């Protein structure tokens, strides 16, 4: 006799997504919804209908993200706890940031961002040390430091958001409005994207490369702060006072972060490929795997960059009176998009792999860098929200 | 496909040009930047309007055609690919697959087929089955067909976006201008004088232009920028600006600006009232009105002109509005006074403010230009109220030769009553040769030796000339004269010292007289304040030469009038473009995150058991698919072991 259909089905059945969720997952979902409800109740008069939509949309989007990538839940809890702690220490007095110990040295936005910077640099050192010595322990320290850096960066942004309202209610805004703030965002997002791939591919060997570009961003951030005083919270120009900023900018930086990550993996690939038996190649994952990470990162970046550019066009239609004006920033967004579109075509339709695409990804980083930094530095246009 | 990649790269590179070279600037700017030769070369290449140039449009056209052809050619195949389960695959090609496993198992073929089909279904594959001629059974599984839909969506999106953009572009206008049917106006004309051949009727299907409306004014037209000229576009409605408001942050940056608009439909008479602001446009029947900018709309300024080139100490009242050009006659020839701008607030950062504020408002200011007959102009900015500089108050007036320069400021000290009268009285008496000579004489009284009358007169003459030179041409002229007469540095310095002493003495004498005229008694001693005033006044006098204006314009009062910069557009292609954008976004995500995967299981009877061939293909995501394939193969392996075997029973 044959085995029953039911028996086989039972044997092959994989538990459904919902069945696989643990208590932590449900708590995560509830905490996000509760947080959104609380924020809605408390700040309803500061938000328009779109912003309320974005608030709930974000909360809902992060539920499956936390389910699919469990460590995100821990990060969320830590960031929420520290941010709430900091905000309550502030009360309604901005000056508390100078007088209270925990604020001054840990949780004011400036201190948190300094901690983020220090932790990212330490993580970079740890990853390189781990890379050189192949020490699993040092690698783990590197991961832990990167997680901590991302947490402190997010706390810094959250608290900065609150501080801007403490300066004056009409100055208050989400801290993604100028070059200084988005550089913090860039470091955090690139770090988190790296951590995601680290887990997914179960290798920490690419950390040294990924963290190097983040340290570069941190170096720029520190220069920008100490030389140019860019960390001062500035009020928003009228064109930026829009809910679009809350979705356009983060979507863009997922794109930029992913492209930066792809470029650094590209660098690792090129080194490993040119000296296959060398010191570095022996420590890196296989070329195929790095090639795959590069593709994954560029695909993710491209998808988000597409969304960000479309959102940008829609915002431009509302703020500048036209969805496309060939403004330098718009044009460079198009150039970046075309560049990666060409990359993807080469890979998907021509079947290119490896070396040439790794070179292209590295060059792509410079194109991307020009789009988000160079345009502000060298070109003038409507999108001038942070000059050097 | 090579063409597609080449086009993507070429368009990217071409796009760079227009960001490096600022587009659509006045041609004169380009001429002065590149010189006449390169100006013409670049103009021939349309580098001043790259994105509107024929060659760029041709490139985009190629992209459009190439993408259309790709979609046209591939879409039917993609749709087939989405729906077809490759049941026609040959054993030989399955054997050639990179991903394959083979088993020989003592399991009845029918049972093996059943179990394999179940596994594939449970793992998300759609499954089709075929009885092959050789008695074998072929199972074809597929999932992620939406990936192909992603291809179609994202590529048609490019076509849709291009078509939408084309509808909103100004290509038809350019063609009409090229054919001579339209004439692009290049002169600076009032709207009412723009000729009909440069005017477009109100029924245009798409446009994007702007108009600046002063408060209380209305318009039923806008201006479209075309090349280095413009066209006048009539509107099917009239828009009036009732009020314009601007708010500032404590730091002086604009916080918001908004316009109260009244729109009246020219055919139906329908009226719409709305307040627009940046990010909050007014949309009416497919037309959108945006708050784009603001400027002065002709504020009325009441001015007082204090002469700086004659011995008069009385101010002459004047009146004008921003935008006016007033023709004046002065002893040095005719001058045009152009009232350029008015600002009600001037908020600047301040340090160590007693109240702890970081910014302070320095009050209203206005900008004007003085243009002489040759067309050369100096630009001035004058503040209405005194401005504190190092704890003392001054009337500030800045002057510069071109907008690229920084202003050089003249600091005029305030008198007892906070006015300009004392300084102007001192200035007037310094230009009054009788008074100057009298002052020089009285200074000479104190000298021990009494020279002859003739020497005396010569000395008086030369000192009076020195004072004249100091006040009219400034301290630099005096220094230049010293440099022209002596070369020995020691002598030079002593000469300068004595000149300055003489100037201080004579002007001090005049100052004493001015104080007396005010009814004060300087003989009893000059107060600290009055002597500080004198030092400041000397500094100000020494700067009048380079200041270059025959008068000092004081702002007495003003009546502000703002103008709101409106951008009015009609973009029927917008919704098409947005549709294309949605298709693009959905398509891209489908392409990257839905994986099209195929799997085959071929079961043939062999020695009473089964011969099973398992093969898969998933080209685009090889690494992931290999993982999935391996897992599936292991599971299938386990199933085929079958802990209950039909054969055994």
In a domain, A382, yes or no: yes
pLDDT at B642 over 80: no
Q: What is the reported pLDDT for A382?
A: 66
CA distance B366 to chain A (A): 24
Of the residues A185, A208, A236, the one at which a domain ends: A236
Q: At residue B602, what are phi and psi to the nearest 5 degrees?
A: -115, 125
Same domain, A91 and A230: yes
In a domain, A205, yes or no: yes
Same domain, A211 and A360: no
Contact A143, A204 (CB under 8 A): yes
pLDDT at B648 over 60: no
In this structure, are strands B387-389 and B325-330 parallel, antiparallel, or unpaired? unpaired
Q: Considering only the beta carbons, identify the residue of A238, A307, A345 that sits closest to B256.
A: A238
For residue A345, give the chain B residue with the closest CA.
B5
HSE-up of residue B494 (Cα within 13 Å, Cβ side): 4
Same domain, A229 and A314: no
Confidence of residue A360 (pLDDT cuts 50, 70, 90): very high
In a domain, A50, yes or no: no
Number of domains in chain A: 2
Same domain, A324 and A230: no
Residue B83 has a CB neighbour count (10 Å cut-off) of 11
> d(Cα B464, Cα B475) in Å, to the nearest integer?
15
In a domain, A319, yes or no: yes
Contacts of A342 in chain B (CB under 8 A): 5, 8-9, 12
Contact B136, B603 (CB under 8 A): yes
Contacts of A303 in chain B (CB under 8 A): 585, 588-589, 592-593
pTM of this prediction?
0.86
For residue A237, give the chain B residue with the closest CA.
B255
Q: Is B430 left (phi over 0), alpha (psi -120 to 50) or beta?
A: alpha
> d(Cα B625, Cα B627) in Å, to the nearest integer?
5
Contacts of A323 in chain B (CB under 8 A): 571, 574, 577-578
Same domain, A178 and A313: no
Chain B, 570 to 599: residues with Cβ < 8 Å from chain A are 571, 574, 577-578, 581, 584-585, 588-589, 592-593
Higher pLDDT, B545 or B352: B545
Of the residues A173, A201, A236, the one at which a domain ends: A236
Q: Out of A201-205, B195-199, B300-304, B641-645, which region has the weakest mean confidence (pLDDT)?
A: B641-645
Residue B369 has a CB neighbour count (10 Å cut-off) of 15
Confidence of residue A349 (pLDDT cuts 50, 70, 90): confident
Rg, Å, chain A Cα set: 22
Same domain, A97 and A169: yes
pLDDT at B348 over 70: yes
Q: What is the reported pLDDT for A141?
A: 96
Q: Considering only the beta carbons, identify the residue of B50, B568, B574 that sits closest to A323.
A: B574
Confidence of residue A388 (pLDDT cuts 50, 70, 90): low
Domain of residue A81, residue span = 70-236
Domains of chain B, first to last: 87-144+595-648 (3.30.160.110), 424-553 (no CATH)
Same domain, A273 and A375: yes
pLDDT at B1 over 60: no
In this structure, are strands B199-200 and B229-248 parallel, antiparallel, or unpaired? parallel
Percent of chain B residues past pLDDT 90, beyond the cut: 41
Report which of A171, A197, A175 is spatially closest to residue A186, judged by C-alpha positions. A175
Q: What is the reported pLDDT for B400?
A: 92
Same domain, A196 and A223: yes
Q: What is the reported pLDDT for B646?
A: 42
In a domain, A277, yes or no: yes
Q: Considering only the beta carbons, identify the residue of A238, A331, A342 that sits closest to B19.
A: A331
pLDDT at B450 over 80: no
For residue A287, give the chain B residue with the closest CA.
B623
Same domain, A199 and A136: yes
pLDDT at B644 over 60: no
Q: Considering only the beta carbons, identify the residue of B20, B50, B251 that sits closest to A235.
A: B251
Mean pLDDT of B163-176: 86
Same domain, A216 and A125: yes
Non-local CB neighbours of A375 within 8 Å, separated by 6+ positions: A328, A329, A332, A381, A383, B19
Same domain, A118 and A176: yes
Q: At residue B134, what are phi and psi to the nearest 5 degrees?
A: -75, 5
In a domain, A37, yes or no: no
Confidence of residue A1 (pLDDT cuts 50, 70, 90): very low
Q: Out of A173-182, A195-204, B35-44, which region has the weakest mean confidence (pLDDT)?
A: B35-44
Same domain, A278 and A364: yes
Q: Is B126 left (phi over 0), alpha (psi -120 to 50) or beta?
A: beta
State whether B122 and A9 contact (CB < 8 Å). Answer: yes
Contact B158, A338 (CB under 8 A): no
For residue A244, give the chain B residue with the closest CA.
B279
Report which of B405, B406, B385 is spatially closest to residue B396, judged by C-alpha positions. B385
State whether B15 and A320 contact (CB < 8 Å). Answer: no
Q: Considering only the beta carbons, identify the residue of A241, A319, A342 that sits closest to B9.
A: A342
Q: What is the pLDDT of residues B198-217, one digit of tens each?
A: 999 998 888 999 999 999 99
Of the residues A202, A236, A270, the one at which a domain ends: A236
> d(Cα B320, Cα A134) in Å, to the nearest integer?
80
Chain B, 206 to 245: residues with Cβ < 8 Å from chain A are 208
Contact B406, B412 (CB under 8 A): no
> d(Cα B379, Cα B371) in Å, to the nearest integer?
9
pLDDT at B311 over 80: no
In a domain, A31, yes or no: no
pLDDT at B259 over 90: yes
Confidence of residue B647 (pLDDT cuts 50, 70, 90): very low
Q: What is the pLDDT of residues A22-44, one digit of tens each?
A: 999 999 999 999 999 999 999 99
In a domain, A43, yes or no: no
pLDDT at B443 over 50: yes
> d(Cα A19, Cα A21) in Å, to the nearest integer?
5
Residue with tokens 């046209």: B72
């Amino acid at each position: 006799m044959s085995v029953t259909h039911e028996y086989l089905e039972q044997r092959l059945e994989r538990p459904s997504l919902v069945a696989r969720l643990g208590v932590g997952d449900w708590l995560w979902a509830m905490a996000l919804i509760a947080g959104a409800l609380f924020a809605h109740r408390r700040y309803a008069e500061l938000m328009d209908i779109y912003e309320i939509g974005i608030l709930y949309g974000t909360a809902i989007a992060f539920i499956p993200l936390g389910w699919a990538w469990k460590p995100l839940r821990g990060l969320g809890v830590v960031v929420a706890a520290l941010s709430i702690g900091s905000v309550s220490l502030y009360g309604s007095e901005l000056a508390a940031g100078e007088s209270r110990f925990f604020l001054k040295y840990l949780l004011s936005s400036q201190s948190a961002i300094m901690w983020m910077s220090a932790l990212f640099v330490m993580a970079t050192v740890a990853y390189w040390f781990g890379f050189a010595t192949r020490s699993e322990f040092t690698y783990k320290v590197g991961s832990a430091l990167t997680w901590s850096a991302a947490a402190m960066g997010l706390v810094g942004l959250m608290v900065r958001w609150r501080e801007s309202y403490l300066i004056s209610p009409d100055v208050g805004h989400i801290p993604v409005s100028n070059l200084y703030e988005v550089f913090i965002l860039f470091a955090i997002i690139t770090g988190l994207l790296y951590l995601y791939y680290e887990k997914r591919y179960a290798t920490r060997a690419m950390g040294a490369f990924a963290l190097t570009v983040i340290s570069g961003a941190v170096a720029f951030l520190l220069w920008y702060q100490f030389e140019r005083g860019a960390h001062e919270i500035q009020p928003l120009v009228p064109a930026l006072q829009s809910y679009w900023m809350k979705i356009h900018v983060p979507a863009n930086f997922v794109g930029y972060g992913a492209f930066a990550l792809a470029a650094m993996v590209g660098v690792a690939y090129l080194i490993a490929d040119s000296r296959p038996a060398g010191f570095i190649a022996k420590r890196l994952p296989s070329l195929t795997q790095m090639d795959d990470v590069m593709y994954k990162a560029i695909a993710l970046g491209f998808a988000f960059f597409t969304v960000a550019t479309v959102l940008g066009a829609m915002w431009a239609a509302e703020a500048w009176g036209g969805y496309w004006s060939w403004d330098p920033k718009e044009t460079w967004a198009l150039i970046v998009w075309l560049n990666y579109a060409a990359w993807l075509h080469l890979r998907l339709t021509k079947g290119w792999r490896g070396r040439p695409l790794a070179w292209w990804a590295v060059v792509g980083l410079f194109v991307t860098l020009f789009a988000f930094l160079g345009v502000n530095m060298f070109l003038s246009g409507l999108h001038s929200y942070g000059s050097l | 496909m090579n063409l597609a990649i080449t086009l993507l790269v070429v368009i990217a590179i071409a796009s760079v040009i227009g960001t490096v070279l600022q587009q659509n600037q006045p041609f004169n700017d380009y001429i002065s930047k590149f010189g006449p030769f390169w100006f013409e070369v670049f103009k021939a290449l349309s580098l001043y309007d790259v994105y509107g140039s024929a060659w760029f449009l041709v490139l985009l056209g190629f992209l459009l055609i190439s993408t259309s052809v790709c979609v046209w050619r591939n879409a039917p195949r993609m749709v087939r690919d989405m729906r077809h389960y490759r049941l026609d695959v040959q054993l030989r090609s399955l054997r050639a697959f990179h991903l394959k496993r083979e088993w020989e198992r003592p399991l009845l073929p029918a049972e093996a087929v059943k179990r394999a089909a179940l596994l594939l279904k449970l793992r998300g594959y759609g499954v089709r089955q075929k009885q092959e001629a050789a008695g074998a059974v072929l199972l074809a599984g597929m999932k992620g067909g939406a990936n192909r839909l992603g291809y179609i969506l994202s590529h048609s999106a490019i076509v849709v976006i291009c078509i939408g953009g084309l509808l909103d572009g100004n290509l038809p206008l350019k063609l009409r201008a090229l054919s001579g049917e339209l004439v692009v106006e290049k002169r600076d004309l009032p709207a009412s004088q723009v000729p009909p051949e440069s005017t477009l009727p109100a029924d245009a299907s798409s446009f994007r232009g702007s108009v600046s409306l002063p408060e209380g004014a209305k318009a039923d037209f806008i201006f479209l920028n075309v090349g280095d000229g413009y066209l006048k576009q009539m509107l099917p409605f009239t828009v009036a600006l009732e009020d314009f408001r601007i708010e500032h942050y404590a730091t002086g940056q604009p916080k918001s600006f908004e316009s109260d608009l009244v729109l009246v439909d020219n055919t139906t008479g329908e009226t719409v009232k709305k307040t627009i602001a940046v990010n909050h446009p007014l949309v009416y029947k497919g037309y959108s009105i945006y708050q784009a900018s603001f400027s002065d709309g002709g504020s009325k300024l009441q001015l007082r002109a204090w002469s700086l080139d004659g011995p008069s100490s009385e101010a002459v009242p004047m009146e004008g509005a921003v935008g006016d050009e007033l023709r004046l006659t002065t002893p040095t020839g005719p001058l045009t006074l152009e009232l350029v701008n008015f600002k009600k607030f001037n908020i600047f950062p301040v340090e160590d403010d007693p109240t702890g504020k970081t910014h302070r408002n320095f009050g209203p200011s206005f900008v004007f230009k003085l243009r002489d007959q040759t067309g050369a102009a100096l630009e001035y900015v004058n503040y209405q109220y005194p401005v504190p500089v190092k704890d003392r108050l001054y009337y500030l007036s800045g002057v510069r030769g071109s907008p690229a320069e920084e202003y050089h400021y003249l600091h005029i000290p305030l008198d007892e009553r906070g006015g300009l009268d004392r300084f102007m009285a001192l200035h007037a008496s310094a230009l009054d040769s009788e008074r100057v000579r009298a002052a020089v004489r009285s200074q000479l009284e104190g000298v021990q030796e009494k020279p002859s009358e003739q020497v005396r007169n010569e000395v008086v003459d030369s000192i009076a000339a020195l004072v004249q030179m100091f006040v009219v041409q400034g301290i630099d002229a005096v220094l230049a004269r010293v440099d022209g007469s002596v070369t020995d540095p020691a002598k030079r310095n002593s000469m300068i010292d004595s000149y300055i002493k003489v100037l201080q003495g004579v002007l001090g004498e005049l100052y004493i007289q001015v104080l007396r005229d005010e009814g004060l008694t300087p003989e009893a001693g000059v107060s600290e304040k009055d002597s500080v005033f004198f030092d400041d006044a000397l500094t100000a006098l020494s700067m009048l030469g380079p200041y270059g204006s025959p008068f000092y314009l004081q702002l007495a009062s003003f009546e502000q009038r703002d103008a709101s910069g409106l951008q009015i557009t009609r973009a029927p292609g917008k919704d098409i473009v947005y549709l294309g954008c949605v298709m693009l976004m959905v398509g891209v995500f489908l392409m990257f995150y839905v994986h099209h995967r195929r799997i085959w299981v071929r079961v043939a009877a062999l020695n009473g058991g089964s011969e099973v061939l398992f093969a898969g293909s998933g080209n685009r995501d090889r690494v992931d698919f290999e993982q999935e394939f391996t897992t599936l193969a292991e599971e299938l392996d386990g199933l085929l072991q079958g802990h209950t075997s039909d054969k055994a029973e």
